[in-house]
Each structure stands twice: as C-alpha cells, then as structure tokens.
C-alpha cells in the first residue's frame, strides 16, 4: 500500500510539473502570437520604400524632432515627450515651416499608417531625414517608454478605438 501511495504522490508531482510547464508554454505562446500578429499587421500597413526607425535607433539620435500625426484629442491624452502635434486630417505644411529640412524628423501615430502618409508629404516638400516610428506610439508604450500629458508622465494612452486598442498591452486605455 505504501508503494502505491508513493507512486501516486510521485505521479501527482510529475503531473503538476507537466501541467505548469504546459500552461507556461501556452501563455508564452499567446504573447508570442500577439507579437507575431502585430508584426504581420505592421508589415501589411507600411510602404516598404518609406524609412522606418526603431525605438533603439531613435534613442541613439541627438535631438530628433517628434511629430505626432494623430488627432488632437489623441495627442491631449498623451504623447511622446516634446512631440509637436501636426495632426492628420488637419495637417498643413505651415505647421512645420519652422523646421530645418535637414533635421531628423520622427513621425508617429497609433501604429504608423497615418504618420507614413504625412511623412510622404514632408518628403515631397523637401524634408531630407524623415522616419516613421516602427509600431507607432502603441509599440512605444508596450516597450515601457514614457508618455506625457501637459508636461507630466501619464499611464493613459489613446487607443484610437476598441478594435485597435487590442494592440496596446500596457498603459491605461482611453477611447
């Protein structure tokens, strides 16, 4: 009888370890799948001929100009520190007339679709170093980078809408 109880105890311990391992793989797989899905989404959104810049590359730059191409209500919730709001629907080249055309400009929106369109307009206007932030502000926040509102750090991030908000895994979503 003791041998049977020992065997059952051993089996239960092994079963729990296997279950724990399987659960960990499953959870890790979900995170990995979302990341893969986000990368796939971005690949489909971006024009392969427009230059992207990663967060790591941005952090190596000296004083890049950040331009936020989202709508003003999105910008007001939060934005990358010192970003200048230029909008999307209301974008006009007059909003960037004070910028040096040789300055490094990093554009962003929620994921990078709107910012790429504004970037193309800037290139056509003669701006020489225009980059689209890979993954937009969603990726920025998901990587733990700070966002600001009225000069102070905030956890709030405008998620655009509930459909697009699924790509935000950190921060407090605002719609």
CATH assignment at residue 139 = 3.40.250.10
Collect all residues with Cβ–Cβ distance below 8 Å to 111 and sequence separation of at least 6: 41, 42, 45, 135, 136, 138, 139, 164, 167
Total number of domains in the chain: 2
Is there a contact between 83 and 158 (Cβ–Cβ < 8 Å)? no
For 7, the token pair is 């065997």
**What's the CA gap between 37 and 137, in Å, rounded?**
17
Looking at the fold, whether 36 and 80 belong to one and the same domain comes out as no
* Pairing assessment for the beta strands 52-53 and 129-133 based on DSSP bridges: parallel
Looking at the fold, whether 106 and 150 belong to one and the same domain comes out as yes
Whether 159 is catalytic: no
- Tens of pLDDT, residues 82-100: 999 999 999 999 999 999 9
DSSP state of 44: H
Looking at the fold, whether 39 and 59 belong to one and the same domain comes out as no
Domain that holds residue 82: 49-174
CA 58 from chain centre, in angstroms, equals 13
- Tens of pLDDT, residues 89-147: 999 999 999 999 999 999 999 999 999 999 999 999 999 999 999 999 999 999 999 99
Of 62, 48, 68, 44, the closest CA to residue 133 belongs to 68
Looking at the fold, whether 36 and 64 belong to one and the same domain comes out as no
- Tens of pLDDT, residues 4-25: 544 445 444 444 444 333 333 3
**What's the CA gap between 102 and 69, in Å, rounded?**
20
Q: What are phi and psi of 144, to 5 degrees?
A: 85, 15
Looking at the fold, whether 164 and 96 belong to one and the same domain comes out as yes
For 117, the token pair is 């369109």
Confidence of residue 31 (pLDDT cuts 50, 70, 90): very low
User: At 163, which helix (H) or strand (E)?
Assistant: none
Looking at the fold, whether 76 and 159 belong to one and the same domain comes out as yes
Looking at the fold, whether 104 and 70 belong to one and the same domain comes out as yes
Looking at the fold, whether 20 and 77 belong to one and the same domain comes out as no
Looking at the fold, whether 132 and 55 belong to one and the same domain comes out as yes
For 153, the token pair is 């750090």
Is there a contact between 64 and 58 (Cβ–Cβ < 8 Å)? yes
Looking at the fold, whether 132 and 54 belong to one and the same domain comes out as yes
* pTM, rounded to two decimals: 0.81
Candidates 42, 67, 96, 109; catalytic one = 109
Looking at the fold, whether 62 and 130 belong to one and the same domain comes out as yes
């Amino acid at each position: 009888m003791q041998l049977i109880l020992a065997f059952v105890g051993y089996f239960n311990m092994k079963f729990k370890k296997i279950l724990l391992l399987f659960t960990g793989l499953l959870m890790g797989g979900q995170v990995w799948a979302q990341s893969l899905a986000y990368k796939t989404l971005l690949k489909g959104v971006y024009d392969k001929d427009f230059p992207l810049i990663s967060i790591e590359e941005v952090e190596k730059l000296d004083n890049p100009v950040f331009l936020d191409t989202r709508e003003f209500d999105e910008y007001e919730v939060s934005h990358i520190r010192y970003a200048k709001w230029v909008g999307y629907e209301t974008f006009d080249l007059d909003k960037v007339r004070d910028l040096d055309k040789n300055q490094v400009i990093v554009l962003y929106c929620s994921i990078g679709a709107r910012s790429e369109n504004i970037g193309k307009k800037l290139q056509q206007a003669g701006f020489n170093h225009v980059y689209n932030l890979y993954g937009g502000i969603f990726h920025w926040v998901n990587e733990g980078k700070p966002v600001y509102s009225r000069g102070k750090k905030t956890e709030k991030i405008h998620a655009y809408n509930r459909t697009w908000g699924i790509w935000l895994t950190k921060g407090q979503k605002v719609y």
